[in-house]
Amino acid sequence: MSIKENIRIAIFSIKTNIMRSLLTMLGIIIGVASVIAIITVGDGGRDYIVGMIRNLGNSAIALTVNTKTADDEDYFTDRDIEAIKKLDGVQHASMQSMAMSQITVNGENGFLMGIGCNTDIQMITQTPCLFGRYFSEEEYVQGKKVGVIDVGSAMQVFGRKDVVGEYIHCKSNDITVPIKIIGVVDIMASYGIDTDDMMNSFSSMSGDIQMMSCMILMPATIVSDLGGKYNHYETINITCDDESKLDGIGASALNYIRSLHGNYDKDCYSVTNYATYIDLLDTVINVFTIFIAAVSAISLIVGGIGVMNIMLVSITERTREIGIRKSLGAKTGTILFQFLTESVILCLIGGSIGLLLGVASAALVSYIMKVPLAVKFSTVAIAIGFSSAIGIIFGVYPARRAAKMPPIEALRRD
């Protein structure tokens, strides 16, 4: 008997007992759907998170001062920044210093988190301005009192996004500094956060009790004025032209800094390669996704037992058919292949339905979580492969039982 004929007989048998077949396939459908949904959402979430981190620091490293072991002379200076920029392979380098201060806007008080940096910060964060511009090299050198505000902060402080030309008056250590806003940037977007959703969530949680606060990027000299520590930085962010050079550039920069400060005997610096976190996070998410998918796949075993049970029932009902076929010369292998084909097709139909439901569920979850939908060929292959494997594994015993049935005994049964 040809494969085509076996398939035709299998489909006819499934259609004859359509409700029983659907109930039998239910375990396969649920198992495949859950596995596909988990793998698809996991792949999409992994690609989204890893991609976000890769955009932040694919070719970036950070030198950080250990504040517990470092003395004042160990902190980074402008001289260190300029020296690092001259190292081979270094594209950009910017300090990162922070200062908190009180602010006053239109007679209302609040708090400011000032982030001090130089003009390289735009290339390091790769975040363009929504309105206005970043401060220039001339403004940085001259210590102009200008800043680039986060769009969420602009909404909270001024009630609108385009606030270029507005002023924020900062006060720290009895010094009042008027900061002119020359640009608006979506800092949270660089971390994969939707600023509008964040602001709505913040407003709903805080209700009527809200505290005005903002985040501003500004020349490091201005932040030094607010913090009272000029030319005194805890972090240097560095980007290079080749990700494979990150470790070498990090080691070179660290040794250079130690030679400039003469503190080889002190453990007061650390180097962070952001690219290493990408591989680590990728591995963790993959392991977690596979584990959950494996737990969900237990339902496939239950579905396979259901397939075995229904095939045994089908063989019992078709005993005379088996006897007639064997008496007409059908070989044992032919009968075996016939019922094995029926088992596999039953599972493949269930697997196909489960694949569609799994992708639909993944699409819904991805939409709610706002992560990309990643349906890969390997996911489809898994669905088809699992379904076929279940059909073969749990169909072998019933098929062998049918194939080995003596024709005389089979013809005697009603």
Structure confidence at residue 180 as a pLDDT band (50, 70, 90): very high
* pLDDT value at residue 2: 66
Instruction: State mean pLDDT over 270-288.
Output: 75
pLDDT per residue over 21-32, tens digit each? 888 788 888 888
pLDDT per residue over 377-394, tens digit each? 777 787 778 777 887 787
Question: Measuring CA to CA, which residue among 332, 316, 327 is closest to residue 407?
Answer: 327
Distances (CA, A) of 383 to 31, 296, 317, 341: 10, 13, 30, 18
Last residue of a domain, one of 202, 237, 267: 267
* pLDDT value at residue 1: 55
Q: How much of the chain, in percent, has pLDDT values that exceed 70?
A: 86
Last residue of a domain, one of 204, 239, 267: 267
In a domain, 169, yes or no: yes
Q: Does the structure show a pLDDT above 50 at 203?
A: no
Q: How much of the chain, in percent, has pLDDT values that exceed 90?
A: 5
Contact 323, 411 (CB under 8 A): yes
Q: Tell the burial category of 291 from Cβ atoms under 10 Å away from its Cβ (0-12, 13-18, 19+).
A: exposed
In a domain, 60, yes or no: no
Greater confidence (310 vs 238) lies with 238
* pLDDT value at residue 382: 74
Q: Token digits for 153?
A: 């902060």
* pLDDT value at residue 60: 78
Instruction: Give yes or no: residues 209 and 239 share one domain.
Output: yes
* pLDDT value at residue 409: 66
Containing structural domain, residue 103: 67-267
In a domain, 367, yes or no: yes
Instruction: Give yes or no: residues 75 and 132 share one domain.
Output: yes
Q: Does the structure show a pLDDT above 50 at 208?
A: no
Q: What is the C-alpha end-to-end distance of the chain, expressed in Å?
A: 25
In a domain, 85, yes or no: yes
Contact 102, 267 (CB under 8 A): no
Q: What are residue 177's DSSP bridge partners?
A: 170
Mean residue pLDDT across the chain: 78
Q: Does the structure show a pLDDT above 70 at 408?
A: no
Instruction: State mean pLDDT over 213-228.
Output: 79
Instruction: Give yes or no: residues 127 and 83 share one domain.
Output: yes
* pLDDT value at residue 183: 93
Q: Does the structure show a pLDDT above 70 at 75?
A: yes
In a domain, 297, yes or no: yes
* pLDDT value at residue 201: 47
Q: Does the structure show a pLDDT above 70 at 264?
A: yes
Q: Does the structure show a pLDDT above 70 at 195?
A: no
Rg of the chain's alpha carbons, rounded to an integer?
Answer: 33
What pTM did the predictor assign? Answer: 0.57
In a domain, 58, yes or no: no
* pLDDT value at residue 202: 43
Residue 368 identity (one-letter amino acid): I
Q: Does the structure show a pLDDT above 50 at 207?
A: no
Instruction: Give yes or no: residues 172 and 313 share one domain.
Output: no
Start-end of H helices in 60-170: 78-85, 121-125, 137-142, 151-158
Number of domains, the chain: 2
Which pairs from 193-197 meet CB under 8 Å and 24+ separation? 194/370, 195/150, 195/151, 195/152, 195/155
Structure confidence at residue 62 as a pLDDT band (50, 70, 90): confident
Instruction: Give yes or no: residues 263 and 287 share one domain.
Output: no
In a domain, 224, yes or no: yes
* Range with lowest mean pLDDT among 34-48, 141-155, 311-325, 358-372: 311-325
* pLDDT value at residue 184: 93
pLDDT per residue over 78-88, tens digit each? 888 888 888 88
Structure confidence at residue 294 as a pLDDT band (50, 70, 90): confident
DSSP letters of 118-138?
Answer: -TTHHHHHT--EEEE-PPPHH
Contact 299, 30 (CB under 8 A): yes
Instruction: Give yes or no: residues 132 and 262 share one domain.
Output: yes
Question: How many C-beta atoms surround the C-beta of residue 170 within 10 A?
Answer: 27
Q: Does the structure show a pLDDT above 70 at 182?
A: yes
Question: Measuring CA to CA, which residue among 175, 144, 170, 139 is closest to residue 157?
Answer: 170
Contact 181, 132 (CB under 8 A): yes
State the Cα–Cα distance between residues 374 and 363, nearest whole angstrom: 9
Distances (CA, A) of 153 to 136, 183, 190, 195: 22, 12, 15, 10
Query: CA torsion, points 346, 351, 352, 358, in degrees to nearest 10?
Result: 150
* pLDDT value at residue 134: 93
Greater confidence (326 vs 273) lies with 273
DSSP letters of 189-213?
Answer: GGGT--HHHHHHHHHHHHTT----E
Instruction: Give yes or no: residues 175 and 119 share one domain.
Output: yes
DSSP letters of 252-287?
Answer: HHHHHHHHHHT-TT---EEEEEHHHHHHHHHHHHHH
Instruction: Give yes or no: residues 127 and 228 share one domain.
Output: yes
Q: Does the structure show a pLDDT above 50 at 359?
A: yes
Return the H-helix or E-strand segment holding 341. helix 332-369
Instruction: Give yes or no: residues 127 and 238 share one domain.
Output: yes
Instruction: Give yes or no: residues 46 and 108 share one domain.
Output: no
pLDDT per residue over 88-147, tens digit each? 888 889 888 887 878 877 777 788 888 888 998 888 877 889 999 999 999 988 888 999
Instruction: Give yes or no: residues 19 and 132 share one domain.
Output: no
* Range with lowest mean pLDDT among 11-20, 42-51, 160-169, 188-197: 188-197
Instruction: Give yes or no: residues 46 and 77 share one domain.
Output: no
In a domain, 138, yes or no: yes
Q: Does the structure show a pLDDT above 80 at 328?
A: no
Instruction: State mean pLDDT over 208-217.
Output: 67
Last residue of a domain, one of 267, 302, 331: 267
State the Cα–Cα distance between residues 231 and 163, nearest whole angstrom: 30
